[in-house]
Amino acid sequence: MSENRKKILDMLANKKISVDEANRLLNALEAERSDSEDTPKAEAGRKTSAKYLRVTVLPDPASENSQNVDRVNIRVPMSLIRAGMKLTSLIPPAARDKVNGALQEKGIDFDVNSVKPDDIEGLIGALSDLEVDVVSSKGEKVKVFVE
């Protein structure tokens, strides 16, 4: 049994996650395993090469309103995201409960206590696949990607 699988089952046994959540995590783990078996070297290379998270808002050249659009160009080092997320794992238990409560109020069923350092690494690794490309009717072209 793999380490991650064991962790998920432990969390389920300790009632930190529900059966549905455990099922979803196990499925995700299985999918990740099959992906990594396909091209492990390419995957590893891509994850290590990702250095920055970029957020850009640029005018869409095809739009008539392109002159009035604000321009945003943000570059966040992946190491800063990693360090910041590790810092959030140090939130005191009392504050975590408040965060969980606030998330529940917003309709987000997420337990901050269940986030472990290994999960953070996995999450940041998965960011390498992130790509958001939105063109709004106002003539804005929003892009979120990793480079």
**Which residues of this protein are in contact with another protein, per CB under 8 A?**
51-52, 67-68, 70-77, 79-80, 82-84, 86-87, 90, 92
Nearest-approach distance from CB 55 to another protein, in angstroms: 9
Count how many Cα atoms sit within 13 Å of the Cα of residue 73 in the half-sphere of its side chain.
3
- Residues with Cβ within 8 Å of residue 115, at least 6 apart in sequence: 88, 89
Please, what is the minimum distance in Å from the beta carbon of residue 84 to another protein?
6
Bridge-based pairing state of the strands 140-146 and 52-59: antiparallel
DSSP, collapsed to helix, strand or coil, labels residue 90 as coil
The least CB distance from residue 134 to another protein, in Å, is 18
- Residue closer to another protein by CB (options 45, 77) is 77
Q: C-beta of 86: minimal distance to another protein in Å?
A: 6
Q: In this complex, which beta carbon is closest to another protein, that of residue 25 or of residue 125?
A: 125
Whose Cβ is closer to another protein: residue 4's or residue 89's?
89
Question: Which residue's CB is nearer to another protein, number 6 or number 75?
Answer: 75
Helix (H) or strand (E) holding 105: helix 93-105
Q: How far apart are CA 22 and CA 43, in angstroms?
A: 25
Q: Which residue type occupies 62?
A: A
